[in-house]
Amino acid sequence: MTQKEKVAFVIDTLENLYPEVPIPLDHKDPYTLLIAVLLSAQCTDVRVNQITPKLFAIADNPYDMAKLTIEEIADIIRPCGLSPMKSKGIYGLSHILIDKYNGEVPADMSALESLPAVGHKTASVVMSQAFGVPAFPVDTHIHRLMYRWNLSSGKNVVQTENDAKRIFPEDKWNKLHLQMIWYGREYSPARGWKLEKDIITSKIAKKTMITELLKNHKQ
């Protein structure tokens, strides 16, 4: 199975499985998405979706968030983990958005990455899902799948993102990365993984094995 064939198979299968794919984190605008993604670091989306309604009921915009203290934010988001760092980030970025961007989240990767506690993945999610700018945020699911599908070396997420952007069409990135997240959770988890239930990985492994056998036979 050539890389081109793998890519086509992955895209077609994911499109059949997830023709409509929701964003895992509940939000209503770029700001609430930014906060939700920030909170999701080392935390499940399910837990984040349980906590953000409590936070957003009090402050769902930078102006209201800036009125809270770091300690007040930390008390609400503590179940998400890393609350000291995340609360400082939320407080700090809210003030920066007010002072530099009139309370709006900038649709610019560099500007987003310069905000406190906002890394490349968080910025990429906001750019792709809030503003529709092509990006390929790599989380643990995508990193795992790219390695299992032999589409990336799996050395680090930077390499995985570069490989994904290189082999997948740019106009597919924003939807495809979401499809891969849902697929990873449902069919190809890190724990309790069963190859026979992993539709894409098992097909690729089988085709690759057949190709290798035929190649060895010819030699």
Q: Kindly report, residue by residue over 1-53, the tens digit of the pLDDT.
A: 789 999 999 999 999 999 999 999 999 999 999 999 999 999 999 999 999 99
For the chain, the domains span 3-21+137-218, 30-131
Specify whether 121 is catalytic: yes
From the candidates 60, 139, 163, 198, give the one annotated as an active-site residue. Answer: 139
pLDDT band at 217 (very low <50, low <70, confident <90, very high): very low
From the candidates 121, 175, 203, 207, give the one annotated as an active-site residue. Answer: 121
In this structure, which CATH number among 1.10.1670.10, 3.40.718.10, 3.40.470.10, 1.20.1250.20 belongs to the domain 3-21+137-218?
A: 1.10.1670.10
Read off the tokens for 25.
Answer: 């984190």
Helical ranges in 1-156 per DSSP H: 3-17, 30-39, 45-58, 62-65, 70-77, 83-101, 109-113, 120-125, 131, 140-148
pLDDT band at 218 (very low <50, low <70, confident <90, very high): very low
Question: How far apart, in whole angstroms, are the C-alpha atoms of residue 202 and residue 111?
Answer: 41
Length of the chain, in residues: 219
Task: Note if the pTM is more than 0.75.
Answer: yes
Task: Give, in degrees to the nearest 5, the angle at Cα 16 between 189 and 152.
Answer: 45
The reported pLDDT for the residue numbered 154 is: 77
Query: In this prediction, what percent of the chain has a pLDDT beyond 90?
Result: 91
Question: How far apart, in whole angstroms, are the C-alpha atoms of residue 41 and residue 86?
Answer: 9
Question: How far apart, in whole angstroms, are the C-alpha atoms of residue 81 and residue 84?
Answer: 9
Question: How far apart, in whole angstroms, are the C-alpha atoms of residue 102 and residue 108?
Answer: 15
Query: In this prediction, what percent of the chain has a pLDDT beyond 70?
Result: 95
Per residue in 50-97, pLDDT (tens digit) is 999 999 999 999 999 999 999 999 999 999 999 999 999 999 999 999
Read off the tokens for 70.
Answer: 């770091």
Specify whether 163 is catalytic: no
Question: How far apart, in whole angstroms, are the C-alpha atoms of residue 213 and residue 121?
Answer: 39
Question: How far apart, in whole angstroms, are the C-alpha atoms of residue 89 and residue 38?
Answer: 9
In this structure, which CATH number among 3.40.190.290, 1.10.340.30, 3.30.1780.10, 1.10.10.10 belongs to the domain 30-131?
A: 1.10.340.30
Per residue in 87-139, pLDDT (tens digit) is 999 999 999 999 999 999 999 999 999 999 999 999 999 999 999 999 999 99
Question: How far apart, in whole angstroms, are the C-alpha atoms of residue 175 and residue 198?
Answer: 20
